[in-house]
């Protein structure tokens, strides 16, 4: 008898279902079939903490390859508050270990991003068998070239900017599309390049408002009536980048705008006299059916996770390096962020294409 626990944690994204289907299909096809019990924990670690789960069979994973979201639900618990007691006053880590042992699980399959991996590594340190899968639209997980959800989110954000393009052109306006990503600019960078954005602002490359204005004016001088900016949620000015984290948080709180994009819009409007509009696709970027790339990718990762379970190899994230599926020790992944290097080749290429990052 093999007893597998499974949970999806953190902000949801596309292809979570595809990945879980991959794990389960692999196990069933391996012949372990009838001997397999799958415990699906509800709403991420919350379900593990509270022993809140459903028993799942192969049928539950049939037809979900193309379905967005997660059939298990998700939440952002516990992550930052892992060492604070839960509502009932219990230690969360102990509660999770308790559930694991009570159900005699052979291993936990955990799908999530950065926060999730910290907790997963903690559980590994506590002696649980853990295998993780790299899920995030931000593509900022250390140890893997790619995370699933990323390409799907790029597709959504690109489609948004494509739509904005025709209306920007018709009206000769400046348009800002706020793309998800507080710490990493991968999503904004790729969606911006894919949609022909003229200016891309990402957290890794603090911008100078003067450079942004100049880029807009250069376009005007060349006869372009409109300019499109792809701005990451976490875009930051060079000035603000000098503040301490605390000072910056305080400044953000006092902003008379819902987000940095609106501050950028306001500055552009004031300095150029142009009409500026902001679009915020928001959670749309996490939703909808996964793109074909992500479906194949997540299925492959899931299958390899299944193979590791069969071999009893735990304590790893299943990642992707140089086009091959690889195992990365959890202890190496947890707590590290993969961000865009300001001098990365892709940034140089984007600049060769005439894209401004507001830094020169």
The count of other CB atoms within 10 Å of the CB of residue 217 is 13
We find the least distance from the C-beta atom of residue 67 to a second copy, in angstroms, to be 7
Residue number, 165 or 208, with CB nearest to a second copy? 165
Q: Which of residues 72-101 bind a second copy (CB under 8 A)?
A: 73-75
Residue number, 9 or 121, with CB nearest to a second copy? 9
Binding residues for a second copy, rule CB under 8 A, total: 86
For residues 158 and 146, give the distance between their C-alpha atoms in angstroms, rounded to a whole number: 18
We find the least distance from the C-beta atom of residue 66 to a second copy, in angstroms, to be 6
We find the least distance from the C-beta atom of residue 130 to a second copy, in angstroms, to be 21
Rg from Cα positions in the chain: 22
Q: Which of residues 100-159 bind a second copy (CB under 8 A)?
A: 145, 151, 154-156, 158-159
We find the least distance from the C-beta atom of residue 101 to a second copy, in angstroms, to be 28
Q: Which of residues 232-271 bind a second copy (CB under 8 A)?
A: 258, 262
Catalytic hit among 12, 60, 138, 198? 138
Residue number, 24 or 128, with CB nearest to a second copy? 24
Residue number, 18 or 334, with CB nearest to a second copy? 18
We find the least distance from the C-beta atom of residue 237 to a second copy, in angstroms, to be 21
When asked if residue 343 is in the footprint of a second copy (CB under 8 A), the reply is: no
Q: Which of residues 148-207 bind a second copy (CB under 8 A)?
A: 151, 154-156, 158-160, 162-172, 175, 190-191, 193-196
Element (H, E) at 146: none
Residue number, 29 or 90, with CB nearest to a second copy? 29
Q: Are 318 and 19 in contact (CB under 8 A)?
A: no
For residues 131 and 329, give the distance between their C-alpha atoms in angstroms, rounded to a whole number: 10
Strand, coil or helix: 128: coil
Q: Are 184 and 153 in contact (CB under 8 A)?
A: no
Give yes or no: 138 in active site.
yes
Residue number, 18 or 333, with CB nearest to a second copy? 18
Question: What x-and-dash track marks residues 30-69 binding a second copy by CB under 8 A?
Answer: x------------x---------------------xxxxx
Q: Are 37 and 69 in contact (CB under 8 A)?
A: no
- Binder to a second copy among 28, 208, 269, 314 (CB under 8 A)? 28
Strand, coil or helix: 207: strand
Tokens (6 digits) for 72? 């298990």
Kindly indicate which of the ranges 19-27, 81-89, 119-127, 242-250 contains the residues binding a second copy, using the contact rule CB under 8 A: 19-27
For residues 101 and 214, give the distance between their C-alpha atoms in angstroms, rounded to a whole number: 61
When asked if residue 304 is in the footprint of a second copy (CB under 8 A), the reply is: yes
The count of other CB atoms within 10 Å of the CB of residue 301 is 29
157's CB contacts (< 8 A; 6+ apart) are: 177, 179, 180, 187, 188, 191, 195, 230, 281, 285
Element (H, E) at 296: helix 292-311
Nearest to 153 by CA among 43, 283, 259: 283
Residue number, 58 or 91, with CB nearest to a second copy? 58
We find the least distance from the C-beta atom of residue 279 to a second copy, in angstroms, to be 4
Kindly indicate which of the ranges 11-19, 118-126, 200-208, 331-339 contains the residues binding a second copy, using the contact rule CB under 8 A: 11-19
For residues 17 and 20, give the distance between their C-alpha atoms in angstroms, rounded to a whole number: 5
For residues 226 and 89, give the distance between their C-alpha atoms in angstroms, rounded to a whole number: 57
Strand, coil or helix: 50: coil
Element (H, E) at 314: none
- Binder to a second copy among 102, 245, 254, 323 (CB under 8 A)? 323
We find the least distance from the C-beta atom of residue 157 to a second copy, in angstroms, to be 8
Catalytic residues: 138
């Amino acid at each position: 008898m093999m007893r597998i626990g499974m949970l999806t944690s953190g902000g949801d994204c596309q292809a979570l279902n595809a990945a879980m289907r991959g794990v389960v299909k692999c196990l069933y096809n391996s012949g372990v079939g009838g001997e397999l019990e799958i415990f699906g924990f509800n709403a991420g670690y919350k379900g593990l903490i509270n022993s809140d789960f459903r028993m799942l069979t192969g049928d539950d994973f049939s037809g979900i390859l193309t379905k967005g979201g997660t059939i298990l639900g998700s939440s952002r618990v516990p992550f930052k508050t892992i060492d604070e007691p839960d509502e009932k006053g219990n230690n969360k880590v102990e509660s999770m270990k308790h559930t694991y042992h009570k159900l005699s699980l052979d291993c936990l399959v955990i799908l999530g991003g950065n926060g999730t991996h910290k907790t997963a590594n903690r559980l590994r340190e506590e002696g649980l068998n853990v295998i993780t899968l790299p899920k995030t639209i931000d593509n900022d997980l250390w140890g893997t070239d790619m995370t699933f959800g990323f390409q799907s989110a790029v597709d959504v954000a690109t489609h948004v900017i494509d739509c904005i393009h025709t209306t920007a052109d018709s009206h000769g306006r400046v348009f800002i599309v706020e793309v998800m990503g507080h710490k990493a600019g991968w999503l904004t960078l790729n969606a911006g390049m894919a949609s022909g954005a003229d200016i891309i602002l990402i957290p890794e490359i603090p911008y100078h408002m003067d450079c942004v204005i100049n880029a807009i004016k250069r376009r005007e001088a060349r006869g372009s009536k409109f300019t499109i900016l792809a701005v990451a949620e976490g875009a930051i000015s060079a000035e603000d980048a000098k503040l301490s984290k605390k000072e910056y948080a305080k400044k953000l709180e006092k902003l008379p705008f819902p987000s940095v994009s609106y501050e950028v819009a306001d500055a552009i409007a004031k300095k150029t006299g142009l009409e500026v509009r902001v679009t915020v696709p928001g959670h749309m970027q996490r939703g909808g059916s996964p793109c074909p790339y992500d479906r194949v990718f997540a299925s492959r990762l899931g299958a390899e996770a299944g193979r590791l379970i069969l071999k009893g190899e735990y304590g790893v994230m299943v990642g992707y390096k140089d086009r091959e599926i690889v195992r990365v020790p959890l202890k190496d992944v947890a707590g590290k962020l993969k961000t865009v290097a300001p001098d990365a080749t892709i940034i140089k290429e984007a600049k060769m294409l005439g894209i401004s990052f507001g830094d020169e």
